[in-house]
Structure 1
Amino acid sequence: MQEDRHFRVLRLLQDNPEMSQRELAERVGISVGAAHYVLNALVEKGLVKIGNFKASENKYRYAYILTPKGIAEKTAITRRFLTRKLEEYEALRAEIEELRQDAARGPNSSETCR
Protein backbone atom coordinates (compact mmCIF):
# COMPACT_ATOMS: atom_id res chain seq x y z
CA MET A 1 0.00 0.00 0.00
CA GLN A 2 2.79 2.42 0.90
CA GLU A 3 4.63 1.59 -2.31
CA ASP A 4 1.43 2.25 -4.29
CA ARG A 5 1.15 5.70 -2.70
CA HIS A 6 4.80 6.44 -3.41
CA PHE A 7 4.31 5.29 -7.01
CA ARG A 8 1.26 7.48 -7.54
CA VAL A 9 2.94 10.52 -5.95
CA LEU A 10 6.15 10.09 -7.96
CA ARG A 11 4.15 9.64 -11.14
CA LEU A 12 2.13 12.80 -10.54
CA LEU A 13 5.14 14.88 -9.52
CA GLN A 14 7.15 13.87 -12.55
CA ASP A 15 4.59 15.55 -14.79
CA ASN A 16 3.45 18.26 -12.34
CA PRO A 17 6.29 19.34 -10.03
CA GLU A 18 4.43 22.52 -8.99
CA MET A 19 1.42 20.55 -7.72
CA SER A 20 0.40 21.62 -4.22
CA GLN A 21 0.10 19.14 -1.38
CA ARG A 22 -3.67 19.67 -1.42
CA GLU A 23 -3.89 18.94 -5.16
CA LEU A 24 -1.63 15.95 -4.74
CA ALA A 25 -3.74 14.59 -1.87
CA GLU A 26 -6.93 14.95 -3.93
CA ARG A 27 -5.43 13.18 -6.97
CA VAL A 28 -4.00 10.30 -4.91
CA GLY A 29 -7.09 10.03 -2.72
CA ILE A 30 -5.38 10.65 0.62
CA SER A 31 -5.52 13.36 3.27
CA VAL A 32 -3.31 16.43 3.05
CA GLY A 33 -1.48 15.20 6.16
CA ALA A 34 -0.80 11.86 4.48
CA ALA A 35 0.45 13.66 1.36
CA HIS A 36 2.80 15.72 3.54
CA TYR A 37 4.05 12.53 5.22
CA VAL A 38 4.64 10.79 1.85
CA LEU A 39 6.47 13.81 0.45
CA ASN A 40 8.72 14.01 3.51
CA ALA A 41 9.49 10.29 3.21
CA LEU A 42 10.39 10.70 -0.47
CA VAL A 43 12.61 13.70 0.33
CA GLU A 44 14.36 11.76 3.14
CA LYS A 45 15.02 8.86 0.75
CA GLY A 46 16.55 11.30 -1.74
CA LEU A 47 13.90 10.61 -4.38
CA VAL A 48 12.44 14.12 -4.42
CA LYS A 49 13.97 17.52 -3.80
CA ILE A 50 12.04 20.61 -2.88
CA GLY A 51 12.57 23.90 -4.63
CA ASN A 52 10.81 27.23 -4.50
CA PHE A 53 9.16 28.93 -7.42
CA LYS A 54 7.23 32.13 -7.65
CA ALA A 55 3.54 31.37 -8.12
CA SER A 56 2.42 34.99 -8.26
CA GLU A 57 3.68 38.46 -7.50
CA ASN A 58 3.36 38.06 -3.73
CA LYS A 59 3.50 34.34 -3.15
CA TYR A 60 6.10 31.60 -3.31
CA ARG A 61 5.22 27.92 -3.64
CA TYR A 62 7.18 24.71 -3.63
CA ALA A 63 8.14 22.55 -6.56
CA TYR A 64 8.70 18.85 -5.91
CA ILE A 65 11.32 17.65 -8.37
CA LEU A 66 12.28 14.02 -8.87
CA THR A 67 16.00 13.41 -8.44
CA PRO A 68 17.84 10.99 -10.74
CA LYS A 69 17.51 8.45 -7.92
CA GLY A 70 13.78 9.24 -7.77
CA ILE A 71 13.37 8.68 -11.50
CA ALA A 72 15.17 5.33 -11.25
CA GLU A 73 13.04 4.31 -8.25
CA LYS A 74 9.85 5.35 -10.06
CA THR A 75 10.84 3.11 -12.95
CA ALA A 76 11.45 0.16 -10.61
CA ILE A 77 8.20 0.76 -8.74
CA THR A 78 6.36 1.04 -12.06
CA ARG A 79 7.61 -2.40 -13.10
CA ARG A 80 6.52 -3.95 -9.78
CA PHE A 81 3.18 -2.13 -9.90
CA LEU A 82 2.52 -3.27 -13.45
CA THR A 83 3.45 -6.88 -12.65
CA ARG A 84 1.17 -6.91 -9.61
CA LYS A 85 -1.75 -5.32 -11.49
CA LEU A 86 -1.39 -7.75 -14.40
CA GLU A 87 -1.49 -10.68 -11.95
CA GLU A 88 -4.61 -9.21 -10.34
CA TYR A 89 -6.15 -8.73 -13.78
CA GLU A 90 -5.47 -12.32 -14.82
CA ALA A 91 -6.93 -13.67 -11.55
CA LEU A 92 -10.03 -11.51 -11.98
CA ARG A 93 -10.39 -12.54 -15.61
CA ALA A 94 -10.25 -16.23 -14.61
CA GLU A 95 -12.84 -15.68 -11.89
CA ILE A 96 -15.17 -13.88 -14.32
CA GLU A 97 -14.84 -16.71 -16.81
CA GLU A 98 -15.65 -19.26 -14.09
CA LEU A 99 -18.73 -17.24 -13.08
CA ARG A 100 -19.86 -17.04 -16.71
CA GLN A 101 -19.58 -20.79 -17.04
CA ASP A 102 -21.53 -21.32 -13.80
CA ALA A 103 -24.25 -18.96 -15.02
CA ALA A 104 -24.44 -20.71 -18.39
CA ARG A 105 -24.93 -24.11 -16.72
CA GLY A 106 -28.05 -22.89 -14.96
CA PRO A 107 -29.22 -22.58 -11.37
CA ASN A 108 -29.36 -26.30 -10.47
CA SER A 109 -26.23 -27.57 -12.21
CA SER A 110 -23.91 -27.54 -9.21
CA GLU A 111 -26.39 -28.01 -6.37
CA THR A 112 -28.95 -30.69 -5.71
CA CYS A 113 -32.44 -29.46 -4.92
CA ARG A 114 -34.07 -30.96 -1.83
Structure 2
Amino acid sequence: MRLIEAQPELSQREIAAALGISLGKTNYCLRALIAKGFIKARNFRNSGEKIRYLYVLTPLGIEHKARLSMAFLDRKRREYEALRREIEILSREVNPPEGL
Protein backbone atom coordinates (compact mmCIF):
# COMPACT_ATOMS: atom_id res chain seq x y z
CA MET A 1 0.00 0.00 0.00
CA ARG A 2 2.98 2.30 0.62
CA LEU A 3 4.22 1.65 -2.91
CA ILE A 4 0.81 2.38 -4.42
CA GLU A 5 0.48 5.54 -2.35
CA ALA A 6 3.93 6.75 -3.41
CA GLN A 7 3.74 5.74 -7.09
CA PRO A 8 0.13 5.21 -8.19
CA GLU A 9 1.11 5.17 -11.87
CA LEU A 10 3.10 1.91 -11.61
CA SER A 11 1.89 -0.99 -13.73
CA GLN A 12 1.16 -4.37 -12.19
CA ARG A 13 4.39 -5.64 -13.71
CA GLU A 14 6.36 -2.79 -12.11
CA ILE A 15 4.65 -3.38 -8.75
CA ALA A 16 5.49 -7.09 -8.97
CA ALA A 17 9.14 -6.34 -9.74
CA ALA A 18 9.41 -3.78 -6.92
CA LEU A 19 7.94 -6.23 -4.40
CA GLY A 20 9.75 -9.29 -5.73
CA ILE A 21 6.56 -11.28 -6.29
CA SER A 22 4.92 -12.80 -9.35
CA LEU A 23 2.64 -10.83 -11.65
CA GLY A 24 -0.21 -13.24 -10.87
CA LYS A 25 0.19 -12.73 -7.14
CA THR A 26 0.29 -8.96 -7.68
CA ASN A 27 -2.93 -9.10 -9.69
CA TYR A 28 -4.57 -11.24 -7.00
CA CYS A 29 -3.54 -8.82 -4.22
CA LEU A 30 -4.62 -5.72 -6.15
CA ARG A 31 -8.02 -7.28 -6.84
CA ALA A 32 -8.40 -8.10 -3.14
CA LEU A 33 -7.47 -4.53 -2.15
CA ILE A 34 -10.00 -3.20 -4.66
CA ALA A 35 -12.71 -5.61 -3.40
CA LYS A 36 -12.11 -4.46 0.19
CA GLY A 37 -12.39 -0.83 -0.91
CA PHE A 38 -8.79 0.05 0.04
CA ILE A 39 -7.75 1.13 -3.46
CA LYS A 40 -9.42 2.21 -6.70
CA ALA A 41 -8.16 1.51 -10.19
CA ARG A 42 -8.65 4.38 -12.63
CA ASN A 43 -7.92 4.33 -16.34
CA PHE A 44 -5.37 6.74 -17.73
CA ARG A 45 -3.32 6.98 -20.89
CA ASN A 46 0.42 6.94 -20.82
CA SER A 47 2.57 8.54 -23.51
CA GLY A 48 2.20 5.53 -25.81
CA GLU A 49 -1.59 5.77 -26.29
CA LYS A 50 -1.94 2.58 -24.25
CA ILE A 51 -4.57 2.62 -21.52
CA ARG A 52 -3.17 1.81 -18.08
CA TYR A 53 -4.49 1.84 -14.57
CA LEU A 54 -3.71 4.35 -11.89
CA TYR A 55 -4.02 2.76 -8.43
CA VAL A 56 -5.20 5.21 -5.77
CA LEU A 57 -5.67 4.64 -2.04
CA THR A 58 -9.21 5.37 -0.91
CA PRO A 59 -9.95 7.09 2.42
CA LEU A 60 -10.68 3.60 3.80
CA GLY A 61 -7.33 2.40 2.43
CA ILE A 62 -5.49 5.30 4.05
CA GLU A 63 -7.18 4.52 7.38
CA HIS A 64 -6.33 0.81 7.08
CA LYS A 65 -2.72 1.61 6.20
CA ALA A 66 -2.46 3.82 9.29
CA ARG A 67 -3.87 1.02 11.49
CA LEU A 68 -1.40 -1.47 10.02
CA SER A 69 1.45 0.96 10.62
CA MET A 70 0.43 1.52 14.25
CA ALA A 71 0.14 -2.23 14.88
CA PHE A 72 3.58 -2.74 13.32
CA LEU A 73 5.11 0.02 15.47
CA ASP A 74 3.52 -1.38 18.63
CA ARG A 75 4.87 -4.86 17.86
CA LYS A 76 8.36 -3.49 17.17
CA ARG A 77 8.31 -1.46 20.41
CA ARG A 78 7.43 -4.61 22.40
CA GLU A 79 10.20 -6.54 20.64
CA TYR A 80 12.66 -3.73 21.38
CA GLU A 81 11.75 -3.69 25.08
CA ALA A 82 12.06 -7.48 25.32
CA LEU A 83 15.49 -7.34 23.66
CA ARG A 84 16.58 -4.48 25.91
CA ARG A 85 15.61 -6.50 29.00
CA GLU A 86 17.39 -9.59 27.68
CA ILE A 87 20.56 -7.59 26.95
CA GLU A 88 20.41 -6.13 30.45
CA ILE A 89 20.13 -9.62 32.00
CA LEU A 90 22.94 -11.02 29.86
CA SER A 91 25.16 -8.03 30.63
CA ARG A 92 24.70 -8.63 34.37
CA GLU A 93 25.57 -12.31 33.89
CA VAL A 94 28.75 -11.49 31.97
CA ASN A 95 29.74 -8.53 34.17
CA PRO A 96 28.38 -9.21 37.67
CA PRO A 97 28.59 -6.36 40.19
CA GLU A 98 31.89 -6.28 42.06
CA GLY A 99 32.01 -7.97 45.43
CA LEU A 100 30.07 -11.07 44.41
CA-atom RMSD in angstroms: 2.3
Identical residues among aligned pairs (%): 48
Unaligned runs of 5+ in 1: 1-9, 106-114
Give me the TM-score of the superposition, normalised by structure 2.
0.76
Shift of 1:43: 0.2
Give me the TM-score of the superposition, normalised by structure 1.
0.68
Call closer, same or farther: CA 1:57–1:74 in 2, change over 3 Å: same
Shift of 1:101: 3.6
Is 1:25 equivalent to 2:31 in the alignment?
A: no
Unaligned runs of 5+ in 2: 96-100
Please identify, of 48-57 and 83-92, the stretch whose mean Cα deviation from structure 2 is larger. Answer: 83-92
Call closer, same or farther: CA 1:29–1:98 in 2, change over 3 Å: farther
- Pick one of 3, 9, 13 that aligns with 1:12: 3
Is 1:36 equivalent to 2:64 in the alignment?
A: no
